[in-house]
Structures are given as structure tokens and as C-alpha cells.
Structure 1
């Protein structure tokens, strides 16, 4: 897969240009599936109004509302109850998967339970567009600071499809989000490199090449 890992969505022209580069064609010519599952596991988000806001493109985090040719919904908690032929072709045909924020461990659990994680290696041209937890789920660990929902294993381990961790929503002192001091404390408990990044920053990963795209603030910790 091609990855666009964001903190706050496609929030500026640089991140949007990176998305178009990964797609290899205009957004208006591309199809997407949005995945709201992570929201249900986090006490600050869904189910309810915020899940609807994400799906409808009214969340304030630009992803669904970018002008896609078509957008569908892929709800991972439903997939174990339906036949693969009803949803796997939809995923294979989509140009992008738009994965909401919420709880990364809840999302990780349902990616495994649904079988979506097993499908990812075959989606070589698909772009994974992650928002906050939707980005963190691909990292090796999220750290105890971000644990809300506990999986059966009880740990903070996620999919490990990239070799770095992410602290999203980096904010300046007094602003909503995570301060640099909090990010540094979090990174001290994470093995390996970790990016702290604000909502104007994203990370692209293509064929193992990692690049930061930013019109804001970010730092690499623990490298």
C-alpha cells in the first residue's frame, strides 16, 4: 500500500498535493471508502454524532469532503458477519481508504477480526489515508498514554506496518492537543523512532521511503 499518515486530515495544500501524487490521478477521478470503526472505541468520539460527521464529511478534518468521484462506507465490525465476496471486491476497486481517528487499538482489533489486515499486502496501488488513530494503527505501538480501549491481549501493540510510532495533535503550550513535553515523555516509553506532529503535518510511505510533508510543526524523537 501507499500510505498518507496524517494527524488532522488533508488540512493544507502540501498534504493534498501529496495525496494526489500517491493516487497518481486527480481526487475527482478517484474512488474512496471511508472507515469510521476507530470512532466507536473512543469515549470522545462515536458512536453517534461524530461518526456521522466523519462519514458525511462534516467533521472538520478534511478527508471525505475532498471532492472524490465516489465515497462509500466500510464498517469493519460488520464484515465478519457477511461473505467476503460482498466486501473484498469493493476494497480492491477503491483508490483510497479513508480511516478515521478514534481508538487505534479498537481499530487494530477489528482490522484483524474482519480480515482487512490480511488483504492489505495485495493492495499495492491503494492509498491508505489515516487520520490520527487511523495513522497510529499502522505503527508498532501507540504507548500507554493513548490507550482507552484494551484489547484481549491487554497491550498497546498495533500492526507494525511501519517502523516508527506517531504522537498526533502536537500543539503549542496552552492550545488543545499534546504538548512537546508530553510528546517527549510519551516517546521515552516507545522503542524506536517516533514522530510528534501537528495537524498541518503528514507522513508519506511509498516502497519503504518515508517523507514528512508539513506546513506546520513536527519533530522526530527517539531516533
Structure 2
């Protein structure tokens, strides 16, 4: 399949042009399914999901003028006839995977069967936002104020101090398996003032804990993947941390 992994959605003309190129037709002629599942572990997660679907969140995604927009709720899929939801996914031109908790989201991508289906869909465009981008990868890292609870089993977890403007904060750094759609990791919100864990120095430390190439991308950048080949499209800044270099 084709992927467009963003930090904060379709934020500029360069990323939008990349999306249209991947679709092979205008957005107004394309059908999309929105996946809001990643937002639920957070306080107010249901409201976050609602804003994503209505196109009222900070990440342009569902409000791009799609021909049709449906909802694909991953936690519901195991209780449905597989042929029903798989047909809906196959008929969609784009899968819009919102942000939230990548540990929870990646678990439900695998548990629902979606992760196993996606590689068989060469013409479908997977559009990830933040955690939606992280969960598509083979391996990802994320920081939590305390050890995460609930669904998802980390490969490793360790306490780390990531320097922040207020003098540093202890975090639990977790590495976990994603859906395995691409063979690299993504750090979103690179050098964003409201995401100090993703500062340049912190991202370098973060990437050093992963054994795969890691793209740190800001909110004006995205990673475009076609036939396994990745390129960055950007009106902002980004950095590739490669363990082989």
C-alpha cells in the first residue's frame, strides 16, 4: 500500500499535493474512512474523536472535501462479520488514522485484523497523524508520565529524564511493536514548543533507543512511502537518525 505519515495532518500545500499524487485523483473524487481509536485512552478522548471526525481538531484530515467519509472503529471489528468491514476497507481510497496513544492504537490495529489486511491493498493510501503514523511502523518509541496501563505490551520500558524548558521531567520511555507497514520509526512534532520530549536533543536520545532508522518530522512535514521507498515532503524541518551511520 501507499502511506503518508504526518505529524499533524495535511497542514500545507506540499503535503496536500503528495496526498493527491498518492490517491491518483482529486480528494473530491476519493472515499475515505476515519480511524479515531487512538484517542480513547486520554481524558476527554471521546470528545477528541468527535472533533477529529467533524474536522474541528488541529490536524486537517477529515475536513479536506472527501467524496465520502466513513468511520472505522477498530475496537468494534472483532465483533463484526469480517467480510463486511474488510469490504468497506477495500472500497476506500484512503484510511485516515488519527493520533492519540500509539501503544493502544497499534494493539488494536493488530487485534482487529486491520494490520494483516493492509499489505494486500496496493492502491489504498494510509494517512497517519502523530500516533497514527507511529503505529504504522515496525518499532516505535513513546514517552509516558508513568508506566502505561491497559492494552498493549511494550517490548521494553525504562525511566528517563528528557530535558524540558522547566528543567526536565522524568518519563517512562516505552518501545513497542507497531503494525509493521514500514521498516522505520517516526518521531512526530519535532522541535515543537508544546512537545518538549521531541526537541532535537531529546529526539536524538529517543532515536538512539531504537534499532531502526528514525524520521523526526515537524508539523509541516510528512514521510511519503511508495513501494517501500520513503521520501520526505516538507515545508518545515525534519531529521533522519540512522543507526547505521
Normalising by structure 2, we get a TM-score of 0.85
C-alpha separation between the residues in 2 aligned to 1:66 and 1:105? 27
Q: In the alignment, is the contact (CA less than 8 A) between 2:119 and 2:181 conserved in 1?
A: no
Q: Does 1:157 align with 2:155?
A: no
Counterpart selection for 2:67 from 42, 56, 69: 69
Counterpart selection for 2:200 from 180, 186, 192: 180
5+ residue gaps, structure 1: none
Counterpart selection for 1:214 from 234, 239, 245: 234
Aligned match of 2:189: 169
Normalising by structure 1, we get a TM-score of 0.93
Residue 153 of structure 1: how far off its partner (Å) = 3.2
Q: In the alignment, is the contact (CA less than 8 A) between 2:38 and 2:132 conserved in 1?
A: yes
Residue 110 of structure 1: how far off its partner (Å) = 0.9
C-alpha separation between the residues in 2 aligned to 1:204 and 1:152? 27
Counterpart selection for 1:124 from 116, 122, 125: 122
Aligned match of 2:10: 10
Aligned pairs for 1:109-148 within 5 A = 109-145=107-143, 148=148
Q: What is the number of residues matched between the two proteins?
A: 219
Residue 215 of structure 1: how far off its partner (Å) = 0.2
Q: In the alignment, is the contact (CA less than 8 A) between 1:145 and 1:186 conserved in 2?
A: no
Residue 51 of structure 1: how far off its partner (Å) = 1.0
Question: Larger RCO: Structure 1 or Structure 2 (Cα < 8 Å, ≥ 6 residues apart)?
Answer: 1
Q: Between 54-63 and 141-150, report the one with greater CA deviation.
A: 141-150
CA RMSD of aligned residues (A): 1.6
Q: In the alignment, is the contact (CA less than 8 A) between 2:103 and 2:152 conserved in 1?
A: no
Residue 24 of structure 1: how far off its partner (Å) = 0.2
C-alpha separation between the residues in 2 aligned to 1:55 and 1:32? 11
In our comparison, the structure showing a higher alpha carbon Rg is 2
Residue 149 of structure 1: how far off its partner (Å) = 4.8
5+ residue gaps, structure 2: 156-175
Aligned match of 1:53: 51
